[in-house]
């Protein structure tokens, strides 16, 4: 009975299996990147990047229609232009990264909206921008899986520099020339994962899938390894539960997944082992007595 409720939908329906495979790909690929976003205090950067990607995909959609490759390419180009542009400004002028990024993504967003209006509003663009985890076809699944694999490989390549950059960026810059590599490599990682997440969950929800598992994991793990493992596991569990919730209670799938991840995060804030509210309170009482 319980097994039926938990596993039955995936046995009976191939669209549920496809959705699950998509979620697994995103969890494995995107959540480790999310952990580094948190460590580098770039969680909000993800949101900005998502907005930057949106016009690229939208324009590609308007030009060529609902083509997976064109929309992926459009998103990548828009995302990379904004990421590299903001990075260049931050590295070579007095302006900080957050400000230059905000400036670039706002320009990109406004440009996108303007081009869309000039073209008239053909078809309900909202649907395309929301993504469709329930409608993943073979080519979308291949794309998600390839991006997840590529992302893991790239992450493994720049892992050392990336960790150093997280801990002490100035030190890395002084001892090695890999600092720009770590920086831009990481931005590229972020962009390709957002584009992948975009196809399944839509632009804005994709950021949730990156950041929330990592944020929750911070309350349970201490070492980087445990953080990475935990965040992937939480991402997998959350998206699985979200799909079930959408199936059993007739809720839209994307928001259901993100809200499950959100509740995992809130729970972790309350009872997490590492600096969770409850533990902090208990520790303080222990000290006081």
Catalog residues that contact other proteins under the rule CB under 8 A: 9, 12-16, 18-19, 62-66, 117, 119-124, 126-128, 130, 132, 134-137, 243, 246-256
In the complex, least distance from residue 231 CB atom to other proteins, rounded to whole angstroms = 24
**For other proteins, the closer CB: 66 or 270:** 66
Answer yes or no: are the C-beta atoms of 200 and 252 closer than 8 Å.
no
In the complex, least distance from residue 65 CB atom to other proteins, rounded to whole angstroms = 7
The H or E element spanning position 33 is helix 14-39
In the complex, least distance from residue 126 CB atom to other proteins, rounded to whole angstroms = 6
In the complex, least distance from residue 92 CB atom to other proteins, rounded to whole angstroms = 37
**For other proteins, the closer CB: 87 or 197:** 197
Q: How far apart are CA 3 and CA 192, in angstroms?
A: 36
Q: How far apart are CA 188 and CA 9, in angstroms?
A: 36
**For other proteins, the closer CB: 122 or 275:** 122
**For other proteins, the closer CB: 119 or 284:** 119
**For other proteins, the closer CB: 205 or 228:** 205
Q: How far apart are CA 162 and CA 43, in angstroms?
A: 16
**For other proteins, the closer CB: 8 or 98:** 8
In the complex, least distance from residue 124 CB atom to other proteins, rounded to whole angstroms = 5
Dihedral (CA of 134, 138, 139, 144) sign? positive
Q: How far apart are CA 280 and CA 283, in angstroms?
A: 5
Phi then psi for residue 80, to 5 deg, are -70, -40
**For other proteins, the closer CB: 66 or 282:** 66
Distance from the Cα of residue 55 to its chain's centroid: 17
In the complex, least distance from residue 71 CB atom to other proteins, rounded to whole angstroms = 12
Q: How far apart are CA 206 and CA 175, in angstroms?
A: 35
User: Can you tell me which residue has the tokens 């697994």?
Assistant: 24
In the complex, least distance from residue 93 CB atom to other proteins, rounded to whole angstroms = 37
| Half-sphere exposure (Cβ direction) of 89: Cα atoms closer than 13 Å | 15
**For other proteins, the closer CB: 71 or 189:** 71
Residue 223 has which token pair? 């070492």
138 by Cβ neighbours in 10 Å (0-12 / 13-18 / 19+) ranks as: exposed
In the complex, least distance from residue 262 CB atom to other proteins, rounded to whole angstroms = 17
User: Can you tell me which residue has the tokens 């490759």?
Assistant: 69
């Amino acid at each position: 009975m319980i097994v039926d409720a938990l596993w039955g939908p995936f046995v009976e329906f191939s669209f549920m299996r496809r959705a699950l495979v998509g979620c697994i790909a995103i969890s494995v690929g995107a959540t480790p990147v999310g952990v580094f976003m948190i460590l580098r205090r770039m969680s909000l950067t993800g949101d900005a990047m998502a907005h930057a990607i949106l016009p690229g995909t939208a324009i590609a959609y308007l030009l060529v229609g609902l083509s997976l490759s064109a929309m992926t390419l459009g998103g990548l180009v828009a995302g990379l232009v904004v990421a590299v542009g903001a990075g260049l400004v931050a590295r070579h002028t007095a302006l900080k990264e957050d400000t230059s990024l905000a400036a670039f993504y706002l320009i990109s967003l406004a440009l996108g909206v303007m081009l869309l209006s000039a073209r008239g509003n053909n078809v309900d663009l909202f649907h395309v921008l929301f993504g469709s985890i329930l409608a993943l076809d073979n080519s979308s699944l291949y794309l998600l899986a390839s991006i997840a694999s590529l992302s893991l490989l790239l992450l493994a390549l720049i892992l050392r520099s990336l960790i150093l950059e997280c801990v002490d960026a100035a030190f890395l810059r002084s001892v090695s020339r890999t600092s720009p590599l770590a920086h831009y490599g990481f931005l590229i990682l972020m962009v390709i994962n957002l584009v992948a997440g975009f196809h399944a969950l839509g632009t804005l929800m994709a950021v949730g899938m990156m950041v929330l598992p990592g944020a929750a994991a911070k309350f349970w793990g201490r070492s980087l390894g445990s953080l990475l493992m935990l965040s992937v596991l939480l991402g997998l569990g959350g998206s699985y539960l979200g799909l079930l919730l959408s199936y059993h209670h007739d809720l839209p799938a994307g928001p259901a997944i993100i809200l499950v991840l959100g509740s995992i995060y809130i729970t972790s804030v309350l009872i997490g082992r590492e600096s969770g509210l409850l533990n902090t309170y208990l520790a303080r009482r222990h000290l006081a007595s």
